[in-house]
Amino acid sequence: MSDVYKMERREFVKILGGGIVVCVNLGSIAGLAACERRGFQRGYPDDINAYLHIAEDGEITLFSGKIEMGQGIMTSLTQMAAEDLGVGIESIQIVMGDTDRCPWDMGTFGSLTTRMFGPAVRAAAAKARLVLTDMAEERLGVDRQSLSVENGVVFVSGDRSRSVTFGELARGQAITHTVDEEAVQRSVQDFAVIGQSPLRLDGVEKVTGAAEYAGDIRLPGMLYARILRPPAHGATLTSVDTSAAESMAGVTVVNEDGIVAVLCVDPELAGRALRAVNAEYDEPNPTVDTESIYEHLVDVAPEPNVPDEEGDLGAGRAASERTFEETYYNAYVAHAPIEPHTAVAEVTDGKATVWSSTQAPFTQQQGVARALGFDPENVRVITPYVGGGFGGKVSGRQAVEAARLAQITGTPVQVAWTRAEEFFYDQFRPAATIKLTSGIDANGKLTLWDYQVYGAGARGSDVFYDVPNKSVRVFGEWGGAPEGLHPFAVGAWRAPAANSNRFAAEQQIEIMAYAAGIDPLEFRLSNTSDERMQATLRAAADRYGWQPRSTAARNGRGRGLACGIDAETYVALIADVTVDVASGSVKVDRVVCAQDMGIVVNPDGSRMQMEGCIAMGLGYVFSEELRFEGGKILDSDFASYKLATFSQMPQIDTVFVSNDALPPKGGGEPAIINMGAVVANAIFDATGARVYRLPMTPERVLEALSNV
């Protein structure tokens, strides 16, 4: 491992000014191996991943490379630390996403914070409590077993007059501890902080406008930059004339290293100056567009990965009373965070500081260092609050742009993408074509599952139904798509690939259930022996008030069911819809969402994520579809690219399947993965029409109705 990532443990204490520091090496925490080396990322270092500091004045600080983009981890990580340390959450400060102050982290994505990073935080807190209790043992002259900890005070059990505070214990200390043994963590029945729903720690700042995002950072002499952009991905600049922009008062023009930019103190003037730049481009002829992409994905597909294979497909066909062959399609969609990519950079004395809206500050530190020709330790990335990420704020292009322009001009620079730039440089959720052939025997038992997904990736394609003959082939992953598969960059979009895979799989299940004349809930229950899935399905059905029915209602109102596993969380959704058969428009009236996510650290925070998944999902279900001609992106604003809005909100009921035997699992993504299928299944129940392509626009619903 490179020394770049190492910081001497003693250094921490020096920087922090004494007290007690507890460091954690995530490698020692069970379960981490699963998330190491995710293709484009290196694994966690064998050094420190988190640390907790108890200052001499008793102030407690948790340092984490994770970032807060709305998912609520500032609060839930603090809860986890508070639980095992024995303090209230108000006693802990948290510093996040600052590469100078926080230990290395691979990034905030994949619903990994709580399930992978949470254990490290708890281990550090438990260790700190142990260290402090040991020190108190000496101070109070009684042994550890006779001591209790509450609200940052260690006292003799039954005699609170004999006590010492954490601050008093930390005073005069300059020591570090590493978690080297499993310090005893609190068990579920003793939880005082985990399992509670305190008001979020970021709340007051966010409702008063005080919360700082990257674009709110203002430095003396800072210039706002606008950068020349090509008209299409793949276009090359053939000529550029910046003379008109250069003649504008107060405008600085940069044309260096392939970056053409105008800068000034007024962002609007920068915009006008950019419009005064005349540029010509060579644009490649488009070879693929919004409609032809689905065949293209199949035609140019790379060799498949085969994550799941069992039995023999031929035997499966032979054993099938009926087979079902369907093809499903899902569109490219944008992340469209309301805060566009933004960065502010300052480069002075061979050091760079970049405030960036990013999910991956340490990746950006590397990228900025490379671009500037600096050593990474001379680049500091600070992550203020991030205004939404959803997987889209990883690449760090805007941070590199701001840093290079700051280096070239010698002044602090802000690069804040416009909405059109945000749509252009997004790393979109890839389109997908899914070919699925399945079969059932005379008793409605699954016999065959022949699954091929093109373009999206594997996540969500796992077969948790009992199928003796199955094959899952994945042609192209979002994270490592070969050149030419997609006409522009694609990336991780909230539960990457799972939204496409569940759209296909869970519709296919209902197609077979109705064909077999079996209630769709009963069909699922009888075709999976996975007890967590059964319990999750039953929890959703109970809350909904499910009545078995084996034929579609076909009266304009329908219900659908869909389930899946994501981030080790089990999720089942039931939705009610009303279909206007004249217009093809669909209203989702109610969604019930049941989740088994193990121990629920913050129930209300988890509900927020479930509700957000469901509501955000309505966008990709009904209207979100990025239109393009080759590398030219045709959607550049919210007029043509429609997100979900207030009027679409259904009643949402969220249910937790109690499972305190299991450590906390992911919560930021699972509830979104079934939105396509649950609505499509409800449309089928309402009308008898099946929609195979997302988004399910009124036109596509009408077309499906015409085939009934």
In the complex with another protein, the residue whose CB is nearer, 334 or 689, is: 334
In the complex with another protein, the residue whose CB is nearer, 339 or 519, is: 339
Q: How far is the CB of 667 from another protein (least distance, A)?
A: 12
In the complex with another protein, the residue whose CB is nearer, 337 or 457, is: 337
Task: Give the CA angle between residues 508, 627, 560 to the nearest 5°.
Answer: 25
Q: How far is the CB of 694 from another protein (least distance, A)?
A: 17
Tokens of 340: 């566009």
Tokens 């296909």 locate to 504
Q: What is the largest CA-CA distance in the chain?
A: 84
Q: For 467, phi and psi rounded to 5 degrees?
A: -125, 120
In the complex with another protein, the residue whose CB is nearer, 599 or 644, is: 644
In the complex with another protein, the residue whose CB is nearer, 6 or 419, is: 419
Rounded to whole angstroms, the Cα distance separating 651 from 591 reads: 6
Residue 180 CA, chain-centre distance (Å), reads 31
Q: How far is the CB of 597 from another protein (least distance, A)?
A: 16
Other C-beta atoms closer than 10 Å to the C-beta of 317 total 15
Q: According to the 3-state scheme, what is the secondary structure of 275-289?
A: HCCEEEEECCCCCCE
DSSP output for 200-224: PTTHHHHHHT---BGGG---TT-EE
Q: How far is the CB of 291 from another protein (least distance, A)?
A: 26
Residue 650 CA, chain-centre distance (Å), reads 23
In the complex with another protein, the residue whose CB is nearer, 16 or 89, is: 89
Quick one: which of 180, 245, 246, 196 has its CA closest to 27?
180
Q: How far is the CB of 414 from another protein (least distance, A)?
A: 10
Quick one: which of 24, 34, 121 has its CA closest to 73?
121
Q: Do 371 and 419 contact (CB within 8 A), yes or no?
A: no
Radius of gyration of the chain (CA): 27
In the complex with another protein, the residue whose CB is nearer, 210 or 582, is: 210
Q: Which residues bind another protein (CB under 8 A)?
A: 69-72, 199-200, 202-213, 215-216, 218, 265-268, 336-340, 385-390, 416, 418-419, 604-605, 607-608, 611-616, 618-619, 637-639, 643-647, 649, 652, 654
Residue 449 CA, chain-centre distance (Å), reads 29
3-state secondary structure (DSSP) of residue 525:
helix
In the complex with another protein, the residue whose CB is nearer, 12 or 224, is: 224
Q: How far is the CB of 199 from another protein (least distance, A)?
A: 6
Q: How far is the CB of 45 from another protein (least distance, A)?
A: 29
Query: Residue 428 carries which DSSP code?
Result: B
Quick one: which of 685, 686, 691 has its CA closest to 706?
691
Tokens of 92: 């802990």
Tokens 């955000």 locate to 616
List CB contacts of 297: < 8 A, sequence separation 6 or more: 431, 432, 433, 454, 455, 475, 476, 485
Q: How far is the CB of 114 from another protein (least distance, A)?
A: 15
In the complex with another protein, the residue whose CB is nearer, 123 or 673, is: 673
In the complex with another protein, the residue whose CB is nearer, 256 or 268, is: 268
In the complex with another protein, the residue whose CB is nearer, 381 or 616, is: 616
Query: Residue 393 carries which DSSP code?
Result: S
Q: How far is the CB of 509 from another protein (least distance, A)?
A: 27
Quick one: which of 547, 551, 572, 570 has its CA closest to 561?
572
Q: How far is the CB of 436 from another protein (least distance, A)?
A: 29
- Sort strands 379-382 and 351-356 into parallel, antiparallel or unpaired: parallel
Q: How far is the CB of 380 from another protein (least distance, A)?
A: 22
In the complex with another protein, the residue whose CB is nearer, 246 or 604, is: 604
Q: For 381, phi and psi rounded to 5 degrees?
A: -105, 125
In the complex with another protein, the residue whose CB is nearer, 453 or 586, is: 586
Q: How far is the CB of 335 from another protein (least distance, A)?
A: 8
Tokens 């509830």 locate to 671
Q: How far is the CB of 441 from another protein (least distance, A)?
A: 42
Q: How far is the CB of 224 from another protein (least distance, A)?
A: 8
Q: How far is the CB of 355 from another protein (least distance, A)?
A: 13
Q: How far is the CB of 644 from another protein (least distance, A)?
A: 6
Query: Residue 115 carries which DSSP code?
Result: I
In the complex with another protein, the residue whose CB is nearer, 99 or 357, is: 357
List CB contacts of 252: < 8 A, sequence separation 6 or more: 223, 262, 263, 264, 409
- Written as one letter, the residue type at 235 is A
Q: Do 195 and 385 contact (CB within 8 A), yes or no?
A: no
In the complex with another protein, the residue whose CB is nearer, 338 or 442, is: 338
Q: Specify burial of residue 373 (Cβ count, 10 A radius: 0-12, 13-18, 19+).
A: exposed
Q: Specify burial of residue 195 (Cβ count, 10 A radius: 0-12, 13-18, 19+).
A: middle
In the complex with another protein, the residue whose CB is nearer, 451 or 656, is: 656
Q: How far is the CB of 107 from another protein (least distance, A)?
A: 16
In the complex with another protein, the residue whose CB is nearer, 316 or 605, is: 605
Length of the chain: 708
Point out which residues pair with 438 in neighbouring strands: 324, 449
Tokens of 58: 């008793």
Residue 677: C-alpha distances to residues 467, 528, 529 (Å): 20, 18, 22
Other C-beta atoms closer than 10 Å to the C-beta of 474 total 24
Torsion on CA atoms 494, 496, 499, 501, rounded to nearest 10: -170
